[in-house]
Structure formats: structure tokens, C-alpha cells
Chains A and B, each alone.
Chain A
Amino acid sequence: MKHLITTAGLDAAEIGNLLDVADHMAEINSRPVPKVPALRGRTVASVFFEDSTRTRLSFETAAKRLSADTMTFSASTSSLNKGESLRDTIETLSAMGVDAFVVRHKSSGVPEAVTQWTDAVVINAGDGWHQHPTQALLDAFTVTRSFGDGNTMQGRHIAIVGDIKHSRVARSCMDVFVKLGARVTAVAPSTLLPAGGLPGGVAVAHGIDDVVGECDVLYMLRMQRERMDSALVPELGEYSARFGLDPARAARLPAHSLVMHPGPMNRGVEMLVDPSHLPGSRILAQVANGVSVRMAVLFSLLGGAAAGLERGDS
């Protein structure tokens, strides 16, 4: 594995290996000084063509805890329209000496294109509606570690609720969860499901009530208000009534069930209950695990020395 562009190229064993490395990283993060020299002298560039402070900070925190140097390039795509092409941007940064690019772009396929323009490792931090592989890995880590299931999701039922069609998180998660053996149900109106169908092994439901009484994980997606403008849903109130998590539905969740959300949450739309009142909420755990999993990805792709994980930086 040279790059991490999509989860499609990962099999269950490779995913398991990354999760094992993430365990190690989580242990480092629990130390009083959560910093190791594993990637000292390496440079990780966050190239974010679409704003995402949370994901960028998560990657940069991960890189810094491994002692990599970081640089940040933030640009709205409009500044590229002033002249410099995407390719010129990547080649220019590459010439400064970058070992890994962490790329976020609103257009699907950009991280794949970037691999043609640099010898550095490319990590997809979210592209269009296509993929967000580290999100799926951190979610798999969160689910398996919460249940103590090792690296498998065998026998678990995960319901992903919301705008599947426009969600890179959903595409990556469906792929990873199915590969790890979970039973996955996509819960959405047909207008928010991909027109060309779902991946093999993913079932469909058209209301949260169909799954809330028996799922092991309720994975809520952010519902964007602009979806109403394109007549994909009539109004947010109706969406909330069919697909929102309210107190009554939360009360029907099995006691062991987890509630997850990739953030940012839309309170009052898909989340009609305060997650801090839900014992099964793993929403903040997802954020913490995100750092560990991204450390694991950076460490694995950049070929960091295992010895570099053993002691804190002096």
C-alpha cells in the first residue's frame, strides 16, 4: 500500500493490521508526553482545497505526535481559478520536499489525480462524495474496540442513517464495515440513495424506526440544509420525523447499542437528542480515535521505524 486513496484497495487483514497499529498509537496518546520520534525529519503537508478544520487538525496532531514536520496549504478552489492549477500547486509543494500529502477536495477523484504529480505518499482526507478512508478506519476502530470484538464486526448490525448519496463517509464506511463482516443497512429516502445502487451486502430501509430497535450501531450522517433546494427532501421537519434520532427512539435502542456521528452534528435535524445524555454515544471517542488511527496510517505509509514508537522524544 503506497497511498490511501480509497478503502476499496484494502482487505480485511490490511484493515486489521492498521487497527492493531492504532492500538499502539492509542497507548502512546495515553502517555503523559504523547509524542514519539517515529517520523522525525519527515514532512507531512495538509493540502486542503475545501475547508475542514476538524479533519486537518486531527491529521496535523497525528503527524506532530509522531514528530513529523507539518505544513499547511489551505485554498478555496476559487484561488486556483486565479491561475495556478492543481497540478502546479502539488508540484510546487513537492519540490519543497514533502513526504506525504494529506489531501481534501470538493471534487471526487482529486487525491487519485495527485498521485500522478508527486512521488510522495498521498492520503485522502475526503474527496467529493467519493471516499473518506481514515474516517471509516477510525469508525471501525471505535466500533470494534467498544465491543471488544478484536478486528471483526461479524454479527454486528450497523445502520447508517441519512444522506448516503452525497456522503463520502458512507461510501467508505459501507465498504469497510461489510469487509469486516458487519450487516449494514442504509437508511434513507430513495432520493438520498445513489441512483446506481448500493454496494453488495448493504440492505436498505426507508425509516429509522425500522432499525432503531435492533441495531448494534446507529450511525447518523449530517443532513445538509441545501438538499431541500434540490427537491431531495420536502422539508427538514419531515426528514427529522422519519430519520431523526429523538428521545423516544433513543429509548428504544438496545442497551448495548452505540450512537455515532462523523460530525459536525446538525442538532435539531438528525440529532434531536443531546448525545451527552446517551450512554451509548461514541461521538467524542470517534474524534479521539481519529488521531490514533491517522497516526497509524501516517506511520504505516511513511514506513516509520518501530523503534521510534518506544520512547518519548527527549
Chain B
Amino acid sequence: MAQKKRIVVKGGTVVNPGAVAPADVAIVDGLVVEVGQGLDGDDVLDATGCHVSSGFVDLHTHLREPGKEEAETIETGSRAAALGGYTAVVAMPNTDPAQDSVMVVEFVREQGRRAGLVDVHPAGCITVGRAGTALAPYASLAAAGVRIFTDDGNGVQDPLLMRRALEYARDLGVTLAQHCEVSRLTEGAVMHEGSCCSAMGVPGWPALAEELMLHRDIELVRLTGAPMHFLHLSTAGSVELVRRAKADGLPVTAEVTPHHLALDHELLAGWDPVFKVNPPLRTRGDIEALKQGVADGTIDAVATDHAPHAAHAKELPLDQAPPGMLGLETALGVLVTAVAPAPERLCELMSWNPARIAGIDDRHGRPVAPGEPANIAVWDTSEVWTVSRHALASRSTNTPYHGMELRGRNRHTIHDGRVVVRDRKALA
């Protein structure tokens, strides 16, 4: 019988909780078998100058399949994720049909397996069809492996329904994730409500619309005891609300996107729909508050909200263009460039915490240690590169970072013991 191939990641710095140290990592048959000095193998990946950690986990990916394959497929999105250093993504349920049934959820998971580049974990819907009127069948979906539920793109407006959802979810040990937006306050909204939107003459998206629902849901968590995750928080007020909820010991977690840490609303002044996103880009003051939240632990995770749109769909007047921007291939670079967290903190934000929030910490966000699943990212925080929308793996090109210089890039990705990205190139 042929001997099993031994992969060695050589010359890097291994990042584990409480331990950041130079070491080589040997992998055989899907598992880490050895971490130490001077290791050799059949396939050696150079990690000189790089950090070696558990693969990143994206809590917030729109893969668009089924329904909008012209913008992205599970395969192209998986490739973009692998290039970004991700070994698992949570696929948002605003597909067509929506991920509110076992059939659709299993289709998405199976397409992820076929692509074989990252683990694709479908999120379920909080309400049937994301319509906000009736609870989705959480127990059936949980039995099919779904651990996190959201109506992302829509906030659940009805407070009674949200209360019932939390009570019902609590019994099943699953987590609900809210897109916080009181929709009556954002009708027709194009961008952050502030001086810029008033001068441009477009309807604004006030910070209050996010904070009001966040506040309501924090109080519902206090009432029900059910855990809750808050998606893509964007305002200084939101950071403060989560900070207080955590100080009260409530089981809440929160994510921010790279773009809300790096880009502000004044970019919309050029009318380019690539900068239109929901929630919208905010003010410099909001960005500073989000960075503070990332630094002090109020924010648990950085999640991309990777939202591909076909060029013709995005090339509309600003008020008609759909919101959303690409993020998977640039998240690490934007985070390092904008915030420059220490390696351990970076792993908490990109891998360890999101794996736990997604309920997939049995296989992801694990220590790099013998016996652990080999889901690993090798990344360089000193590499400077220029983003080109023409050089991305995503089927769409709506990156807001085109032409921008970033510091920090993923170099190799190992998924389930297999090298899926080698020297910034994905497997065909």
C-alpha cells in the first residue's frame, strides 16, 4: 500500500491561544501529526515570514447559489474564500429559493462538498422565506446540521415573532443572528444619513435604525436567555450597546466587516455603486469606535459580508443599485492594513471566535497541534499587494478596493489535509 503523503509547512510562526512560536507543521491524512523544529515531508510549503494558524472562518458569506449564479456560485465563492485563507464559510440564506428547508440546505452543503475547497455551512432562515411572518422549522434544520439562523438582508421587524424565535431556538441549542435594521426608518435609503447624503440628495440610513433593533434584541436576550449574534454592526452606538450587554453577562456576540473598519461614507460622493452596502459605510467616528470595539473584545469576529453582484446588476443609478461588496479575498489585508491586530487577536477575530459562534468548533478554529483536523491558513502580514478587480476568483468584480494597496495576504490554505491554495494560487 502506498505510503500516505506527508505535507510540511516549513519555516513559519505557529499561532495558538497563548502561544506564538516558530515551528514546522506536519500533516498526514487530514490531520496535524507533528508540530516542531526541522520537520520534512513529501510536499513542503514554504512559510518563511508567515504565520501558521487554524484556517479562517467567515460568519457571513453570500454565495448566491441557488438563484443568482450569474453573480457567484458555490464553487467560485469557495475558491475566493480559500484564497482569502478561509477553510469554512457560513452561507447566508438569502438564496432563491431561500435556505429555509432541509432540501435547500442540503443542496448548498453538497455543492460545497463538490467544490471541495472550504467547508460550506448553510445558515437557516429565522422566518419562512425571510418574510418575517412565520418561524422556519429550526428543529428539522438543526437535525440537518444547521447551527445558525438569520434572515440576513432583512431584520426581523415583529418583536413578538422575535421573542418566540429566541424562545424556540433556545431549546434546540442553536444561535439566531440578527441583521439589525428597523425597515421603516430606512425606506429607500441609499447611504449613511449625514452631511454627505444631504448634500447629494439621496435618502439616508440613520444609525438609529440599527441601534433601535439591537437594543430591542439585547433586551429579548435578557428576557429569554437565548444566545444571539449580531451581524455587521456599523455604528459607534451599536458598539456601546454590545459592550454594556456583555458587561451584564448576556450571551451576545457581534461581528464587524472589514469595510466598516476601513471605508467611510464620503466615498459615495463619487456616485460609484461599488461603495453602496447595507448597512452603509459610516463616519470616521463610527470607524474609530468599531476599531476600539475590535481592540477591547466587544467585537468578537470580523466577517466579510461578501456580496457579489453581476456588473450589469450593480451598474445602475445609486438609488437602484443593489447593496453589497466583495470581501473574501481582501478581508485579511483590509484588517491588517486598517487595524493591524496582534497575531493571536487576529486569529480570535478571523478563526477561533467565528468557529465557536457558527457552532463548527469541532473542526475549525482548533489549535495547530497533533491530532487536530488540518484546516490551516498560512499568511503574511508584511506582504504589500495591490488589489485588482480583474484578478479575483469571485465571478463578480464589485470590490471597493480596486487599485488600493493592502498590507497582509494569505499565502497557502490547507483544507481537510489537502493543499487548496499554494503560493496565492487556488487549485483549478
Chain A positions within 8 Å of B, measured between CB atoms, are 85-87, 105, 107-110, 112-113, 127-131, 168, 171, 194-199
Measured in the bound complex, the distance between the Cα atoms of B202 and A168 in whole Å is 10
Contact between chains at A107 and B200 (CB < 8 Å): no
Measured in the bound complex, the distance between the Cα atoms of B317 and A129 in whole Å is 13
Q: Which chain A residues lie closer than 8 Å to B385 at the CB level?
A: none
Q: Which chain A residues lie closer than 8 Å to B195 at the CB level?
A: 196-197
Contact between chains at B193 and A129 (CB < 8 Å): no
Q: Which chain A residues lie closer than 8 Å to B270 at the CB level?
A: 112
A271 to chain B, nearest CB (A): 24
Contact between chains at B206 and A195 (CB < 8 Å): yes
What 1/0 mask marks residues of chain B from 290 to 321 whose CB sits below 8 Å from any chain A CB?
A: 00000000000000000000001001111110
Measured in the bound complex, the distance between the Cα atoms of B198 and A234 in whole Å is 23
Contact between chains at A86 and B316 (CB < 8 Å): yes
Chain B positions within 8 Å of A, measured between CB atoms, are 193-202, 204, 206, 270-271, 312, 315-320
Contact between chains at B202 and A196 (CB < 8 Å): no
Contact between chains at A195 and B201 (CB < 8 Å): no
B282 to chain A, nearest CB (A): 13
Measured in the bound complex, the distance between the Cα atoms of B273 and A113 in whole Å is 10
Contact between chains at A112 and B271 (CB < 8 Å): yes
Contact between chains at B198 and A195 (CB < 8 Å): yes
Contact between chains at A196 and B318 (CB < 8 Å): no
Residue in contact with A128 in the complex, picked from B202, B312, B315, B316, CB distance below 8 Å = B202
B163 to chain A, nearest CB (A): 28
Contact between chains at A86 and B317 (CB < 8 Å): yes
Measured in the bound complex, the distance between the Cα atoms of B189 and A196 in whole Å is 13
For the complex of A and B, list the 5 residue pairs with the smallest distance between their C-beta atoms, beginning with the closest. A196-B198, A129-B201, A107-B317, A194-B198, A130-B201
Measured in the bound complex, the distance between the Cα atoms of B271 and A128 in whole Å is 13
Q: Is the interface of A mostly helix, strand, loop or mixed?
A: loop
* A196-B319 contact given A85-B312, A129-B202, CB 8 Å threshold: no
Q: Which chain B residues lie closer than 8 Å to A129 at the CB level?
A: 201-202
Contact between chains at B312 and A108 (CB < 8 Å): no
Contact between chains at B200 and A108 (CB < 8 Å): yes
Contact between chains at B198 and A109 (CB < 8 Å): no
Among B202, B204, B271, B320: residue with most chain A CB under 10 A: B271
Measured in the bound complex, the distance between the Cα atoms of B197 and A109 in whole Å is 12
Contact between chains at A108 and B316 (CB < 8 Å): no
Measured in the bound complex, the distance between the Cα atoms of B319 and A121 in whole Å is 24
Residue in contact with A130 in the complex, picked from B193, B200, B204, B320, CB distance below 8 Å = B200
* A108-B318 contact given A85-B312, A113-B271, A195-B204, CB 8 Å threshold: yes
Contact between chains at A130 and B198 (CB < 8 Å): no
Contact between chains at A171 and B201 (CB < 8 Å): yes
Measured in the bound complex, the distance between the Cα atoms of B199 and A245 in whole Å is 27
Q: Which chain A residues lie closer than 8 Å to B320 at the CB level?
A: 107
| A-B CB contact pairs (8 Å), 16 listed | A85-B312, A107-B319, A108-B317, A109-B200, A109-B318, A112-B271, A127-B201, A171-B199, A194-B197, A194-B198, A194-B199, A195-B193, A195-B204, A196-B195, A196-B199, A199-B199
Residue in contact with B196 in the complex, picked from A130, A131, A196, CB distance below 8 Å = A196
Q: Which chain A residues lie closer than 8 Å to B201 at the CB level?
A: 108, 127-131, 168, 171, 194
Measured in the bound complex, the distance between the Cα atoms of B318 and A105 in whole Å is 12
B108 to chain A, nearest CB (A): 30
* A113-B317 contact given A108-B201, A128-B201, CB 8 Å threshold: yes
Measured in the bound complex, the distance between the Cα atoms of B312 and A168 in whole Å is 27
Contact between chains at B315 and A85 (CB < 8 Å): yes
Measured in the bound complex, the distance between the Cα atoms of B315 and A131 in whole Å is 21
Q: Which chain B residues lie closer than 8 Å to A130 at the CB level?
A: 200-202
Among A109, A128, A171, A199: residue with most chain B CB under 10 A: A109
